[in-house]
Amino acid sequence: MNCFRYLYIIILITSFLLPYQGFSQKAKTRAADPYGQISLFLGGGVAYYMGDISANFGSGNLGLGPAFSLGGAYRLTEHFSARGEIRLYKVSGDSQYTDHPQKNLSFFTTNPDLMLSVQADLLPYSRRALINPYALLGVGVTYLNPKAEWQGETYSLPPLQTEGYKYWRLPLFISGGIGAMVRINNSWSAGLEITGNFLLSDYLDDVSTVYPEYDQLVSDLAYQLSYRGNINQQPGYVRGNPKSNDMYIMPLVKVAYSIPNPRYARERKVTKCP
């Protein structure tokens, strides 16, 4: 799996939309300046993980979990907005649903992330179109906290260093996505958005490289949770694929509220905008 192939596709879509700043015909009167318009949004949906032990499609267990988003947007131009949001997502994975069930590796995690992004709208803001398609591109940081159940107990995996390596638990990620909002009235809108979040880490699932030497592990418990398989696993055997970082996908239903801006309302009246 090459996560950055998906990111390239999203960037390509974004670059295709950007030239449409001049999509609408020029009005006879000057359009009201939307700069400074603030909107707040809330979203809910699911999260899907793609990594070293993500399930094969058709396996019946994709490891989907709930996802939530809370944030705001600040209008920069007719077509661009700066966004900031905090999200919470839950994902899981189990090697029994992959091509290597004998590894017996599994994890689940509930993580927060923080993302800053730029949204590029296809249509100008002053048009107040019923449907507004858009693309977005951003960066963020997430907190890694993979856990696993073993012999009836739940353990946090990062402190155990199951591959003999202490990895950074606050990795950056690059996010790209597309969406569309439907205007309900002058203040409210709702729509659907999907983002691909490409981690600069391969440890969302606590699986990345090879089985370590016993003396690299911090405890007997770390050994048990590293070597969970029912086959003869030896140090140096493949445990994951470090050439491909993990990612998670979030399709969300969003509701947005545009805070009334008296200055913008006055300009719209002066310029006779609808």
Burial 174-202, CB ≥16 within 10 A → b, else e: bbbbbbebebeeeeebebebebbbbbebb
| Region of poorest pLDDT, from 54-68, 75-89, 232-246 | 54-68
Q: DSSP code of 120? A: E
CA atoms within 13 A on the CB side of 274: 7
pLDDT band of 4, cuts 50, 70, 90 = low
pLDDT for 182 equals 97
Sign of CA dihedral 123, 36, 181, 30: negative
Segment 242-253 mean pLDDT: 96
Q: Is the pLDDT of residue 253 over 80?
A: yes
Q: Is the pLDDT of residue 5 over 90?
A: no
Mean pLDDT of the chain: 87
What type of residue is 73?
A
Strand-pairing partners, residue 134, are 121, 179
Q: Which of 188, 110, 119, 189 is closest to 154 using CA atoms?
A: 110
pLDDT band of 104, cuts 50, 70, 90 = very high
pLDDT for 127 equals 87
pLDDT for 29 equals 40
Higher pLDDT, 108 or 17: 108
pLDDT band of 22, cuts 50, 70, 90 = very low
Between CA 101 and CA 222 the distance in angstroms is: 20
pLDDT for 233 equals 81
pLDDT for 20 equals 45
Q: What is the pTM of this model?
A: 0.84
pLDDT for 6 equals 54
pLDDT band of 119, cuts 50, 70, 90 = very high
Q: Is the pLDDT of residue 131 over 70?
A: yes
Sign of CA dihedral 179, 184, 187, 188: negative
Higher pLDDT, 84 or 229: 84
Both tokens assigned to 30: 């000057």
pLDDT band of 9, cuts 50, 70, 90 = low
pLDDT band of 28, cuts 50, 70, 90 = very low
Domains of the chain are 3-20+31-270 (2.40.160.20)
Higher pLDDT, 144 or 59: 144
pLDDT band of 100, cuts 50, 70, 90 = confident
CA 111 to chain centre: 11
